[in-house]
Amino acid sequence: MSRLPIKWDRILLKIGGESLADKNNYGISSSRVRLIAEEISEVKNLGVKIGIMVGGGNIFRGGIASREGMDRTTADYMGMLATILNALALQDTLERIGVFTRVQTAIEMQEIAEPYIRRRALRHLEKDRVVIFAGGTGNPYFTTDTAAALRALEIEAGVILKATKVEGVYSSDPFKDKKAEKFDEIGYVEVLNRRLKVMDATAISLCMDNRLPIIIFNLQKRGNIKRIVLGEKVGTIVKD
């Protein structure tokens, strides 16, 4: 049987911690993780090489803790550790449904995961393993959005898919403004000038400098990742 034509054959999927959480946006929901793992498995079976960057906001948010008085560096490192918990949960679920994975962390902890090494990550992708990146960049003051842009460039991904709870990028918050306009396509500079909450400014600038497109989409709609890699217009694409 011939495979379907694929538009994006190597992707970096950015999953925020909230996507893995329960209804209270806290902790890890096994049912939600299972649904995401099944989506990833379906896309992998198309022949797509997949890297995943996970956030940790469902467990700990360094930015909030910092604003409440915690030392910023300490808070950011705690946030990085939260991403590793999520990565291990996703890895376990993926492997239970037959998807071979590797977790690579920017903070070295050899007993539970590999340290991030670019050449090793590329080799895993060549062997059809899903590579889950955790620990952000390994440095405080950088978000997992910036880490996602960095890893996407390093693994030579053709696009970043940023999973959200909304349909794409809007002119204002669609939950608060019923007149919010959804963009099907928008440029990097406009995102920065409008200060739209797509990704942080460092991540957007990094993608802009390297002409790496970003697609913002609703992860809660089943099949969206597959539709995107097959070239369907889903969500909002940020590009030149």
CB 207 within 8 A of CB 214: yes
Whole-number Å distance between alpha carbons of 60 and 5: 40
Q: Quick check: 238 pLDDT over 90?
A: yes
3 falls within a domain: no
Tokens of 190: 């406009």
186 falls within a domain: yes
Range of the domain at 61: 10-239
Q: What is the pLDDT of residue 107?
A: 95
Q: What is the pLDDT of residue 174?
A: 86
Task: Say whether 10 sits in a helix, a strand or coil.
Answer: strand
219 falls within a domain: yes
Average pLDDT over residues 127-137: 97
Q: What is the pLDDT of residue 101?
A: 98
Whole-number Å distance between alpha carbons of 33 and 35: 6
Q: Quick check: 35 pLDDT over 60?
A: yes
Average pLDDT over residues 40-66: 92
Average pLDDT over residues 39-62: 94
Q: What is the radius of gyration, based on Cα positions, of the chain?
A: 17
Q: What is the pLDDT of residue 1?
A: 41
pLDDT digits (tens, 9 = 90+) for 102-121: 999 999 998 999 999 999 99
Q: Quick check: 145 pLDDT over 80?
A: yes
Q: Quick check: 176 pLDDT over 90?
A: no
Segments of 110-224 assigned E as strands: 114-115, 130-134, 159-164, 169-170, 182-183, 185-187, 214-218
Identify the weakest region by mean pLDDT among 63-77, 112-126, 154-168, 198-212. Answer: 63-77
Q: Which amino acid is at 64?
A: I
Q: What is the pLDDT of residue 3?
A: 64
Q: What is the pLDDT of residue 199?
A: 93
Closest CA to 64 of 74, 54, 75, 55: 75
4 falls within a domain: no
Average pLDDT over the chain reads: 94
Is the model more confident about 82 or about 176?
82
2 falls within a domain: no
106 falls within a domain: yes
**CATH number of the domain residue 32 falls in:** 3.40.1160.10
207 falls within a domain: yes
Q: Quick check: 2 pLDDT over 80?
A: no
27 falls within a domain: yes
Number of domains comprising the chain: 1
Average pLDDT over residues 48-77: 91
User: pTM for the complete prediction?
Assistant: 0.94
